[in-house]
Amino acid sequence: MKEKKITGTLIWYYFICKREVWLIARNLEPDQDDTNITIGRFIQENSYDRDKKEVSLGNIKIDIMRRGDGQLVVGEVKKSSKFQESARMQLLFYLSELKSAGLEAKGVLMFPREKRREEVELTPDTEKQLEQTIKDILRIMYMEVPPKVEKIPFCKNCGYREMCYS
């Protein structure tokens, strides 16, 4: 079996719902008719038109990449800052992947709807945090059956809602 690869999306979901990590890892995408997912797709497709979008580097997919002040800037676009911790770790993961490929980059979280952004940086502390996260994600991915449904506030707006509660 091919070794399972960590992706930014998995990191993002890890901090929201562990069950979602398991599902996503098996390519079991959420309901594409779900309103929130449609909105997300629209924001993704229609924001920041001037930048180069969706750059794929190995197993990571970067929303936005640009050069600013002679430095490489990597941007991650989110619908809202509600899950800032998730977004931060996701971006840290990209920065760390780039770093191992020999690329130093600066990270910016972007919330176009809120007209807000936040800078993110790799430090020994954040790198350690990231490592722990990745370890636990791998543990979940290799589970035989998905983690049990846990009712959390996120369920209300989740594209897996009907799958979990059917």
Residues of the shown chain interacting with other proteins in the complex, contacts defined by CB under 8 A: 26-29, 31-33, 38, 144-146, 161-163, 165-166
- Which contiguous run of DSSP H or E holds residue 8? helix 8-14
**Shortest distance, position 1 Cβ to other proteins, whole Å:** 11
Residue 129 carries which side chain, given as an amino acid letter? Q
DSSP state letters, 12-34 = HHHTT-HHHHHHHHTT----TT-
Residue 163 carries which side chain, given as an amino acid letter? M
**Shortest distance, position 28 Cβ to other proteins, whole Å:** 5
- CA atoms of 129 and 89, how far apart (whole Å): 9
Q: Which is nearer to other proteins, 2 or 115 (CB)?
A: 2
Residue 124 carries which side chain, given as an amino acid letter? P
**Shortest distance, position 155 Cβ to other proteins, whole Å:** 10
Q: Are 106 and 72 in contact (CB under 8 A)?
A: yes
Q: Which is nearer to other proteins, 38 or 71 (CB)?
A: 38
**Shortest distance, position 29 Cβ to other proteins, whole Å:** 6
Q: Which is nearer to other proteins, 72 or 138 (CB)?
A: 138
